[in-house]
Homo-oligomer: A and B are copies of this chain.
Amino acid sequence: MAELIILKLGGSVITKKGEGKAEVNKEVLERLAAEISEARKEKEFPLMIVHGAGPFGHVPAKEYGLHEGLKDERQIEGFSITHHSMEKLNFLVVEALRKAGLNAMEFQPSSIGILRNEELVHFPTEALEGILNIGLIPVAYGDVLVDEKKGISILSGDHLVPYLAKKLNASRVIIVTDVAGIFDSNPKENKDAKLIPEINSGNIDSLNIGSSTSTDVTGGMQRKVRELMRLEIESEIISALEPGLVKKALLGERNLGTVIT
């Protein structure tokens, strides 16, 4: 789908992740919704949003060991609880987008998707393409899914984004996090940490992303970056915390964080 942008809003951005409670970060969410709305007023483009889970998903998923696959009956309850909690978060995100004037629409991954050993292997997108074609903004999320091998498993937003970007032939992927991009060491611990403006096949091996000094707070930054790179679709990791960046990125500005090519 020409011109399609997939915008990932990190769980740490839209929720009060640090506090462990399942609460949205209303202030940031409303500002981001306003920026997206302003961008869409200036320019027409198909847009899909995928958001992370924060404590809405991570807390119950951990409590019931959903990452470990289906081992006992109690986890079915955990599946129900975790999905229900993600539905709530998704509803609140769509609510904020709607209030900003966007024709957003909840989009449930678990009603469609099947994993096999945590890899998405089935995700029919005919309805999704129809939804995008009429100008709605589908809003998907990290969710708990049926897994052909493990019984149940977690689909993270970071896994769903490159899968959909490829399948829908997106023009750009914009990943919004709580840091300014990827640094050469952890900027939360090291004042001298330097932002890496571009990661490509030439420098990725020397950068040691994913080491203990990386900036990633959810784990798996190495995998995340490599998955994006394999896509051969331009991606950029930018900060949610600097006002205006999301709007600029949606309107086509580059080099606002770390570009992955």
> Which of the candidate stretches A111-119, A166-174, A236-244 sits at the interface with the other chain?
A111-119
Q: Is A91 an interface residue when CB atoms closer than 8 A count as contact?
A: yes
A147 to B, closest residue via Cβ: B130
Is A83 touching B105 in the complex (CB atoms < 8 A)?
A: yes
Q: Is A221 an interface residue when CB atoms closer than 8 A count as contact?
A: no
B residues within 8 A CB of A80?
A: 98, 103-105, 136
Is B114 touching A112 in the complex (CB atoms < 8 A)?
A: no
Tell me the interface secondary structure of chain A in the complex. mixed
A75 to B, closest residue via Cβ: B134
Q: List 18 A-B contacts (CB under 8 A).
A: A76-B136, A79-B136, A84-B94, A84-B95, A87-B91, A88-B91, A108-B108, A110-B131, A111-B128, A111-B131, A111-B138, A113-B127, A122-B126, A124-B124, A127-B145, A127-B146, A131-B146, A134-B146
Q: Is A48 an interface residue when CB atoms closer than 8 A count as contact?
A: no
Is A107 touching B111 in the complex (CB atoms < 8 A)?
A: yes
A122 to B, closest residue via Cβ: B126
Taking each of A88, A127, A128, which has the highest tally of chain B beta carbons within 10 Å of its own beta carbon? A127
Known A110-B127, A124-B124; further 15 A-B contacts with Cβ < 8 A: A76-B103, A76-B134, A76-B136, A77-B103, A80-B105, A83-B106, A84-B95, A87-B94, A87-B106, A111-B128, A111-B131, A112-B112, A112-B124, A114-B126, A134-B146
Is A106 touching B122 in the complex (CB atoms < 8 A)?
A: no
What is the count of identical protomers in the complex?
A: 2
Is B146 touching A130 in the complex (CB atoms < 8 A)?
A: yes
Q: Is A151 an interface residue when CB atoms closer than 8 A count as contact?
A: yes
A95 to B, closest residue via Cβ: B84
Q: Which of B98, B108, B113, B146 contacts A84 (CB 8 A)?
A: B98
Report how far A81 CA is from B133 CA in the complex, Å: 18
If A108-B111, A122-B126 touch, whether A135 touches B95 (CB-CB below 8 Å) is: no
Is B127 touching A111 in the complex (CB atoms < 8 A)?
A: yes
CB distance from A138 to the nearest CB of B (A): 8
Q: Is A152 an interface residue when CB atoms closer than 8 A count as contact?
A: yes
- List the 10 closest pairs (A to B, CB-CB), nearest first: A130-B146, A108-B108, A80-B103, A124-B124, A76-B103, A87-B106, A108-B111, A107-B111, A76-B135, A112-B127
B residues within 8 A CB of A87?
A: 87, 91, 94, 106
Report how far A122 CA is from B109 CA in the complex, Å: 17
Is B112 touching A111 in the complex (CB atoms < 8 A)?
A: yes
